[in-house]
């Protein structure tokens, strides 16, 4: 083949740095975004945070005095009434960030876009709030081992016993049980220490008197007995509960109440009171000591009802307001090609791109949140049973974006509603057909199953087949195995394990 020159025409999608930055910011959670903004503030001198009381025009955060960029798009967003629905003119490009829609006069859901870059009311407590306790929200949790060692150091004992106590505490798992046998603990010591089994047993008995009650038990039976021994002697049915926990715990686990009544010679009402006393105990005493750091959820969007309409707004406490530093931007000279001027010009352009990416992220988040609220108004008014089926394609079609963009927006983004804080993905669920030809969401079916189980007769709990029949009576066609899957996702035990003695 001879080399030749060929002219071709074609199209190629190019990911510009600005678009890559916008996509990356879009998928960040609120906490990650705050860290990203802080790093940008530290690395770019052209960026600065707007403080309360600053005197400058928020309508154009890109203004810097050095150049005159195009004015930012008007920061308003809402969905249109279904009876006047028009196809929005959308540019699916995060770099452009411009959406033009016609806004009707009356809306069932409003979006307060005038507050995006200005102060707005927030549901989060302020520093002046009397109920705001800084220490309880910033202090790290105490580990179970440190809690037990603190109690061990309060007891006068020999160095050998203290060494045994420390070793035993190290063998206690996070649920509060002793994982190693006493023989293994003895073998772990240096033979020169001459530690015997009865010494380890004596120290273990002292540790088992620590708080929380039932700690350092070797099995469930011992854990329950340790807690029963620490109850007052006048506690009703204490001796019967100790006998049941010590001798008939297997029968209680299998819910063989008839055999229990015969062996313990108790009537049904008496056995019920004994079982209630045992059920008041904690089978995992170590879980009372929380050792992990608390995880906080910062809502990105706040939804509240005002004048019979649902208002959607960004959480301003979680969205720092940025602007270009006008003083530094004024140092940039158009015709100067020196190294310092080139550096400042590049930093100025990066600052503008960053602010524009933040605006694009907020606009996209508001558009998606508004559509979710419009679609799930029944949930906001009546709860989980009124949740409608919703998939990513529905929102993507409504806002004129790709499903991958909607997936990025709804991941690790949270909405604060009067019913609680939910991840945006919570509002998406598959559907099940109804007898009338309609659709029912899987979230609503789970809520109905939870309601049916809560109202069932504890003596005769509902089986999965029975629940499927009750759902079918309501027009919801669900197979038994589907009911079992939903029940397990709710953490509800099978009917054989839910049986109670009334």
What is the DSSP annotation of 211-236? Answer: SSTTTTBSSHHHHHHHHHHTS-TT-T
Q: Are 19 and 403 in contact (CB under 8 A)?
A: no
Average pLDDT, the chain: 79
Task: Give the residue with greater pLDDT, 308 vs 116.
Answer: 308
- The predicted model gives 328-347 an average pLDDT of 84
pLDDT confidence of 298, banded at 50, 70, 90? confident
pLDDT confidence of 294, banded at 50, 70, 90? low
Quickly tell me which residue has 């009876």 as its tokens.
83
- State residue 140's pLDDT score: 52
Count of beta carbons in the 10 Å neighbourhood of residue 166: 15
Q: Are 81 and 104 in contact (CB under 8 A)?
A: yes
Q: How far apart are CA 13 and CA 33, in angstroms?
A: 27
Identify which of 109, 102, 98, 100 has the alpha carbon closest to the alpha carbon of residue 84. 102
Q: How far apart are CA 289 and CA 268, in angstroms?
A: 36
Domain ranges of the chain: 15-125+296-428, 142-292, 432-498
Q: How far apart are CA 401 and CA 368, in angstroms?
A: 10
CATH number attached to the domain at 432-498: 1.10.10.60
Q: How far apart are CA 297 and CA 214, in angstroms?
A: 33
- The C-alpha angle with vertex 205 and arms to 203 and 210, in degrees rounded to 5, equals 100
**3-class state of residue 329 by DSSP:** helix
Quick check: 182 pLDDT over 60?
Answer: yes
Identify which of 250, 187, 241, 251 has the alpha carbon closest to the alpha carbon of residue 220. 250
- State residue 436's pLDDT score: 66
Lowest model confidence (mean pLDDT) among 63-77, 191-205, 386-400, 419-433: 63-77
Distances (CA, A) of 139 to 134, 143, 149, 153, 477: 8, 13, 20, 23, 50
- The predicted model gives 137-150 an average pLDDT of 73
pLDDT confidence of 417, banded at 50, 70, 90? very high
Does the model's pTM come out above 0.75?
A: no
- State residue 258's pLDDT score: 85
Q: Convert the pLDDT of each residue in 360-385 to its tens digit.
A: 888 999 999 999 999 999 899 988 88
Residue 456 DSSP symbol: S
Identify which of 167, 182, 174 has the alpha carbon closest to the alpha carbon of residue 218. 182
Task: Give the residue with greater pLDDT, 400 vs 191.
Answer: 400
In the chain the first and final C-alpha atoms are separated, in Å, by 91
Residue 434 DSSP symbol: B
- State residue 494's pLDDT score: 85
Task: Give the residue with greater pLDDT, 404 vs 95.
Answer: 404
Give the burial class of 84: count Cβ atoms within 10 A of its Cβ; 0-12 exposed, 13-18 middle, 19 or more buried. exposed
Count of beta carbons in the 10 Å neighbourhood of residue 226: 20
Task: Give the residue with greater pLDDT, 487 vs 17.
Answer: 487
- The C-alpha angle with vertex 468 and arms to 463 and 472, in degrees rounded to 5, equals 150
Q: At what angle do helices 220-229 and 238-247 cross, to 10 degrees?
A: 170
- State residue 54's pLDDT score: 58
- The predicted model gives 454-475 an average pLDDT of 86
Contacts 24+ apart (CB under 8 A), 484-489: 486/442, 486/445, 486/446, 486/449, 487/449, 487/453, 489/446
- State residue 69's pLDDT score: 42
Identify which of 202, 197, 133 has the alpha carbon closest to the alpha carbon of residue 161. 202
Quick check: 347 pLDDT over 70?
Answer: yes
Q: How far apart are CA 327 and CA 37, in angstroms?
A: 20
Quick check: 77 pLDDT over 90?
Answer: no
Give the burial class of 390: count Cβ atoms within 10 A of its Cβ; 0-12 exposed, 13-18 middle, 19 or more buried. buried
Quick check: 74 pLDDT over 80?
Answer: no
Q: How far apart are CA 17 and CA 35, in angstroms?
A: 20
- State residue 293's pLDDT score: 63
Identify which of 238, 231, 239, 197 has the alpha carbon closest to the alpha carbon of residue 214. 231
């Amino acid at each position: 083949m001879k080399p030749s020159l060929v002219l071709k025409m074609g199209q190629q999608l190019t990911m510009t740095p600005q678009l890559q930055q916008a996509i990356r910011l879009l998928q960040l959670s609120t906490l990650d975004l705050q860290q990203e903004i802080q790093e940008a503030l530290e690395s770019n001198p052209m960026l600065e945070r707007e403080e309360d009381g600053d005197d400058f025009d928020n309508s154009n955060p890109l203004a810097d005095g050095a150049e005159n960029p195009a004015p930012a798009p008007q920061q308003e967003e809402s969905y249109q009434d279904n009876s006047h629905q028009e196809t929005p003119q959308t540019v699916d490009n995060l770099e452009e960030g411009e959406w033009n829609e016609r806004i009707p006069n009356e809306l069932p859901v409003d979006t307060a876009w005038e507050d995006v870059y200005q102060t707005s009311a927030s549901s989060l407590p302020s520093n002046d709030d009397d109920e705001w306790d800084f220490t309880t929200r910033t202090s790290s949790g105490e580990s179970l081992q440190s809690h037990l060692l603190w109690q061990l150091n309060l007891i006068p004992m020999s160095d050998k016993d203290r060494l045994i106590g420390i070793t035993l505490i190290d063998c206690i798992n996070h649920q509060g049980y002793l994982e190693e046998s006493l023989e293994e603990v003895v073998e772990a010591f240096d033979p020169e220490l001459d530690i015997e089994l009865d010494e380890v047993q004596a120290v273990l008995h002292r540790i088992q008197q620590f708080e929380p009650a039932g700690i350092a038990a070797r099995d469930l039976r011992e854990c329950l007995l340790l807690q029963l021994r620490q109850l007052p002697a006048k506690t009703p049915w204490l001796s019967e509960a100790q006998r049941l926990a010590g001798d008939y715990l297997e029968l209680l686990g299998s819910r063989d109440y008839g055999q229990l009544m015969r062996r313990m010679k108790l009537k049904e009402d008496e056995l019920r009171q004994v079982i209630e006393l045992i059920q008041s105990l904690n089978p995992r005493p170590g879980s009372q000591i929380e050792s992990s750091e608390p995880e906080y959820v910062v809502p990105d969007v706040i939804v509240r009802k005002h004048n019979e309409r649902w208002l959607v707004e960004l959480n301003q406490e979680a969205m720092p307001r940025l602007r270009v530093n006008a003083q530094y931007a004024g140092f940039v000279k158009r015709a100067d090609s020196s190294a310092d001027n080139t550096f400042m010009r590049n930093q100025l352009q990066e600052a503008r791109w960053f602010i524009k990416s933040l605006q694009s992220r907020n606009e996209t988040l508001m558009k998606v949140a508004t559509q979710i609220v419009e679609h799930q108004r029944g949930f906001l008014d009546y709860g989980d049973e009124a949740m409608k089926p919703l998939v990513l394609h529905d929102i993507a079609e409504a806002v004129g974006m790709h499903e991958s963009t909607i997936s990025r927006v709804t991941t690790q983004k949270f909405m604060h509603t009067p019913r609680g804080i939910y991840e945006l993905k919570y509002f998406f669920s598959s559907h099940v057909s109804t007898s009338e030809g309609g659709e029912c969401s899987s979230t609503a079916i789970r809520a109905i199953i939870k309601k049916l189980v809560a109202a069932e007769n504890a003596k005769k709990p509902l089986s999965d087949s029975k629940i499927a029949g009750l759902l079918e009576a309501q027009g919801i066609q669900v197979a038994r195995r589907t009911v079992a899957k939903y029940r397990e996702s709710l953490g509800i035990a099978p009917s054989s394990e839910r049986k109670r003695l009334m």
